[in-house]
Amino acid sequence: MTTGFEFKHAEWLERHLSRRQGEALRRLKVGHAHAEQAMLKHIWWPAFGHFRHLHPEYEVTDFLEGRRYLDFAYIRSGIRIAIEVDGYGPHYRSLSRKEFCDQWVRQMHLINDNWIVVRIGYDDVIERPRMWQQLLQQMIGTLFGNDDSQSSSLTVREREIVKLSLRMDRPIKLSDVKALLHCQYRSARSHLQRLQEKGWLIPVGTGKTRTHFWRPNPERKFNWL
Protein backbone atom coordinates (compact mmCIF):
# COMPACT_ATOMS: atom_id res chain seq x y z
CA MET A 1 0.00 0.00 0.00
CA THR A 2 1.41 3.39 -1.04
CA THR A 3 1.67 5.91 1.78
CA GLY A 4 1.14 9.64 1.45
CA PHE A 5 4.89 10.16 1.74
CA GLU A 6 5.73 7.62 -0.96
CA PHE A 7 3.19 9.07 -3.39
CA LYS A 8 4.21 12.69 -2.86
CA HIS A 9 7.91 11.84 -2.86
CA ALA A 10 7.61 9.98 -6.17
CA GLU A 11 5.60 12.84 -7.67
CA TRP A 12 8.10 15.45 -6.44
CA LEU A 13 11.13 13.46 -7.62
CA GLU A 14 9.63 12.82 -11.06
CA ARG A 15 8.99 16.54 -11.47
CA HIS A 16 12.64 17.31 -10.80
CA LEU A 17 13.85 14.46 -13.01
CA SER A 18 11.80 15.80 -15.91
CA ARG A 19 13.58 19.17 -15.63
CA ARG A 20 17.13 17.79 -15.60
CA GLN A 21 19.43 16.64 -18.34
CA GLY A 22 23.03 15.55 -18.76
CA GLU A 23 25.16 15.33 -15.63
CA ALA A 24 22.50 16.99 -13.47
CA LEU A 25 20.02 14.25 -14.41
CA ARG A 26 22.56 11.47 -13.82
CA ARG A 27 23.52 12.93 -10.46
CA LEU A 28 19.90 13.12 -9.31
CA LYS A 29 19.29 9.48 -10.29
CA VAL A 30 22.41 8.32 -8.47
CA GLY A 31 22.77 10.84 -5.65
CA HIS A 32 19.23 10.86 -4.29
CA ALA A 33 19.80 7.57 -2.50
CA HIS A 34 19.01 5.86 0.79
CA ALA A 35 20.33 8.48 3.23
CA GLU A 36 18.66 11.37 1.42
CA GLN A 37 15.33 9.55 1.11
CA ALA A 38 15.50 8.54 4.77
CA MET A 39 15.95 12.18 5.79
CA LEU A 40 12.84 13.13 3.83
CA LYS A 41 10.80 10.23 5.22
CA HIS A 42 11.80 10.52 8.88
CA ILE A 43 12.44 14.24 9.26
CA TRP A 44 11.21 16.53 6.48
CA TRP A 45 7.85 14.95 5.67
CA PRO A 46 6.69 14.58 9.33
CA ALA A 47 7.85 18.16 10.01
CA PHE A 48 6.23 19.88 7.01
CA GLY A 49 4.03 17.45 5.08
CA HIS A 50 5.16 18.76 1.67
CA PHE A 51 8.27 19.32 -0.46
CA ARG A 52 7.59 22.86 -1.64
CA HIS A 53 10.72 24.99 -2.17
CA LEU A 54 12.93 21.89 -1.72
CA HIS A 55 15.31 20.83 -4.53
CA PRO A 56 17.21 17.50 -4.51
CA GLU A 57 20.85 17.24 -5.69
CA TYR A 58 21.04 20.96 -6.36
CA GLU A 59 23.92 22.08 -8.54
CA VAL A 60 26.22 24.90 -7.40
CA THR A 61 29.56 26.18 -8.64
CA ASP A 62 32.42 24.77 -6.62
CA PHE A 63 35.11 27.04 -5.17
CA LEU A 64 37.51 25.44 -7.69
CA GLU A 65 35.10 26.50 -10.47
CA GLY A 66 33.83 22.97 -10.93
CA ARG A 67 30.33 21.69 -10.21
CA ARG A 68 29.14 20.13 -6.99
CA TYR A 69 25.76 18.99 -5.80
CA LEU A 70 24.06 19.72 -2.49
CA ASP A 71 21.89 16.94 -1.08
CA PHE A 72 19.04 19.46 -0.82
CA ALA A 73 18.52 23.16 -1.39
CA TYR A 74 15.58 24.96 0.20
CA ILE A 75 15.07 28.17 -1.78
CA ARG A 76 12.36 30.61 -0.83
CA SER A 77 11.90 34.37 -1.02
CA GLY A 78 15.54 35.01 -1.85
CA ILE A 79 16.84 32.88 1.03
CA ARG A 80 18.89 29.74 0.26
CA ILE A 81 19.43 26.87 2.69
CA ALA A 82 21.83 24.01 1.90
CA ILE A 83 20.96 20.75 3.67
CA GLU A 84 23.50 17.93 3.72
CA VAL A 85 23.10 14.43 5.18
CA ASP A 86 26.44 13.11 6.44
CA GLY A 87 27.09 9.46 7.16
CA TYR A 88 29.69 8.28 9.66
CA GLY A 89 31.62 5.69 7.73
CA PRO A 90 34.37 4.90 5.22
CA HIS A 91 33.75 8.09 3.20
CA TYR A 92 35.57 10.29 5.71
CA ARG A 93 38.28 7.72 6.43
CA SER A 94 39.11 7.47 2.71
CA LEU A 95 39.64 11.22 2.32
CA SER A 96 43.12 12.67 2.16
CA ARG A 97 43.94 15.42 4.63
CA LYS A 98 43.59 18.02 1.86
CA GLU A 99 40.22 16.62 0.73
CA PHE A 100 39.03 16.65 4.33
CA CYS A 101 39.99 20.31 4.73
CA ASP A 102 38.53 21.26 1.35
CA GLN A 103 35.08 20.23 2.61
CA TRP A 104 35.09 23.09 5.09
CA VAL A 105 36.48 25.50 2.50
CA ARG A 106 33.52 24.59 0.27
CA GLN A 107 31.15 25.14 3.17
CA MET A 108 32.64 28.55 3.88
CA HIS A 109 32.23 29.55 0.24
CA LEU A 110 28.55 28.66 0.48
CA ILE A 111 28.20 30.80 3.59
CA ASN A 112 30.00 33.68 1.89
CA ASP A 113 27.53 33.33 -0.99
CA ASN A 114 24.68 33.86 1.51
CA TRP A 115 23.72 30.21 1.93
CA ILE A 116 22.58 28.92 5.30
CA VAL A 117 24.27 25.52 5.77
CA VAL A 118 22.60 22.68 7.71
CA ARG A 119 24.41 19.36 8.21
CA ILE A 120 22.49 16.37 9.61
CA GLY A 121 24.24 13.21 10.75
CA TYR A 122 22.72 10.06 9.27
CA ASP A 123 22.54 8.40 12.71
CA ASP A 124 20.29 11.25 13.85
CA VAL A 125 17.99 10.64 10.88
CA ILE A 126 17.29 7.17 12.26
CA GLU A 127 17.74 7.63 16.02
CA ARG A 128 16.71 11.24 16.74
CA PRO A 129 14.37 12.34 13.92
CA ARG A 130 11.98 14.21 16.23
CA MET A 131 14.75 16.49 17.44
CA TRP A 132 15.60 17.43 13.85
CA GLN A 133 11.96 17.91 12.95
CA GLN A 134 11.75 20.49 15.72
CA LEU A 135 15.05 22.15 14.82
CA LEU A 136 14.05 22.56 11.18
CA GLN A 137 10.58 23.78 12.10
CA GLN A 138 12.14 26.39 14.37
CA MET A 139 14.53 27.52 11.65
CA ILE A 140 11.86 27.77 8.94
CA GLY A 141 9.51 29.48 11.39
CA THR A 142 12.17 32.01 12.36
CA LEU A 143 13.06 32.77 8.75
CA PHE A 144 9.60 32.77 7.17
CA GLY A 145 7.05 32.89 9.98
CA ASN A 146 4.95 36.04 10.32
CA ASP A 147 2.90 35.68 13.46
CA ASP A 148 3.80 38.88 15.29
CA SER A 149 1.12 41.54 14.99
CA GLN A 150 3.65 44.35 14.95
CA SER A 151 5.31 42.92 11.84
CA SER A 152 2.21 41.56 10.14
CA SER A 153 2.41 44.19 7.41
CA LEU A 154 5.83 42.99 6.29
CA THR A 155 6.44 40.46 3.54
CA VAL A 156 9.04 37.72 4.04
CA ARG A 157 11.55 39.62 1.92
CA GLU A 158 10.94 42.85 3.80
CA ARG A 159 11.54 41.06 7.11
CA GLU A 160 14.88 39.76 5.82
CA ILE A 161 15.92 43.24 4.73
CA VAL A 162 15.07 44.61 8.19
CA LYS A 163 17.06 41.79 9.82
CA LEU A 164 20.05 42.56 7.61
CA SER A 165 19.87 46.28 8.39
CA LEU A 166 20.00 45.48 12.12
CA ARG A 167 23.07 43.27 11.71
CA MET A 168 25.06 45.87 9.79
CA ASP A 169 27.33 48.44 11.41
CA ARG A 170 26.52 50.97 8.68
CA PRO A 171 23.43 52.10 6.78
CA ILE A 172 21.99 49.52 4.40
CA LYS A 173 22.20 50.29 0.69
CA LEU A 174 20.81 49.02 -2.60
CA SER A 175 23.71 46.69 -3.32
CA ASP A 176 23.18 44.95 0.04
CA VAL A 177 19.57 44.17 -0.83
CA LYS A 178 20.49 43.05 -4.35
CA ALA A 179 22.98 40.56 -2.90
CA LEU A 180 20.56 39.36 -0.21
CA LEU A 181 17.58 38.76 -2.51
CA HIS A 182 19.45 38.15 -5.78
CA CYS A 183 17.31 40.78 -7.43
CA GLN A 184 17.76 43.75 -9.74
CA TYR A 185 18.38 47.39 -8.82
CA ARG A 186 14.78 48.44 -9.41
CA SER A 187 13.38 45.64 -7.26
CA ALA A 188 15.85 46.41 -4.42
CA ARG A 189 14.85 50.07 -4.44
CA SER A 190 11.16 49.15 -4.42
CA HIS A 191 11.62 46.98 -1.29
CA LEU A 192 13.55 49.70 0.52
CA GLN A 193 11.08 52.41 -0.39
CA ARG A 194 8.17 50.33 0.91
CA LEU A 195 10.02 49.76 4.19
CA GLN A 196 10.57 53.51 4.41
CA GLU A 197 6.88 54.16 3.75
CA LYS A 198 5.91 51.62 6.41
CA GLY A 199 8.22 53.31 8.89
CA TRP A 200 10.68 50.47 9.47
CA LEU A 201 13.63 52.18 7.78
CA ILE A 202 14.51 55.86 7.62
CA PRO A 203 16.62 57.54 4.92
CA VAL A 204 20.19 58.62 5.60
CA GLY A 205 22.01 61.50 3.93
CA THR A 206 20.92 64.56 2.01
CA GLY A 207 20.34 63.18 -1.48
CA LYS A 208 18.30 65.72 -3.42
CA THR A 209 16.82 63.27 -5.92
CA ARG A 210 16.87 59.74 -4.52
CA THR A 211 17.75 58.09 -1.24
CA HIS A 212 20.68 55.68 -1.41
CA PHE A 213 21.13 54.69 2.25
CA TRP A 214 18.72 53.67 5.03
CA ARG A 215 18.95 52.70 8.69
CA PRO A 216 16.49 51.05 11.13
CA ASN A 217 13.95 53.41 12.63
CA PRO A 218 14.90 53.77 16.34
CA GLU A 219 11.24 54.38 17.22
CA ARG A 220 10.30 50.85 16.15
CA LYS A 221 10.53 47.75 18.34
CA PHE A 222 12.44 44.86 16.80
CA ASN A 223 11.98 42.21 19.49
CA TRP A 224 9.97 40.10 17.02
CA LEU A 225 13.17 39.27 15.11
Task: Note the pLDDT of residue 147.
Answer: 43
Beta strands in 150-211 (DSSP E): 172-173, 201-204
CA distance 128 to 125: 6
Alpha-carbon 77 to chain mean position: 9
If one counts every other C-beta atom within 10 angstroms of the C-beta of residue 220, the result is 15
CA distance 204 to 75: 32
Question: Strands 201-204 and 115-121: what pairing?
Answer: unpaired
pLDDT in tens, the chain (225 residues): 557 899 999 999 999 999 999 999 999 999 999 999 999 999 999 888 889 999 999 999 876 667 889 999 999 878 899 999 987 655 556 667 767 777 778 888 888 888 999 999 999 999 999 999 999 988 988 887 644 445 556 788 888 899 899 888 899 999 999 999 999 999 999 999 999 988 889 998 765 667 889 999 887 766 555
CA distance 95 to 190: 48
pTM: predicted TM-score of the whole model, two decimal places = 0.63
- What DSSP string runs through 62-93? -TTSSEEEEEEEEEETTEEEEEEEE--SHHHH
**DSSP secondary structure code for residue 41 in this structure:** I
| Per-residue pLDDT tens over the stretch 63-76 | 666 788 999 999 98
Q: How far is CA 69 from CA 143, 150, 217, 221, in A?
A: 24, 40, 41, 41
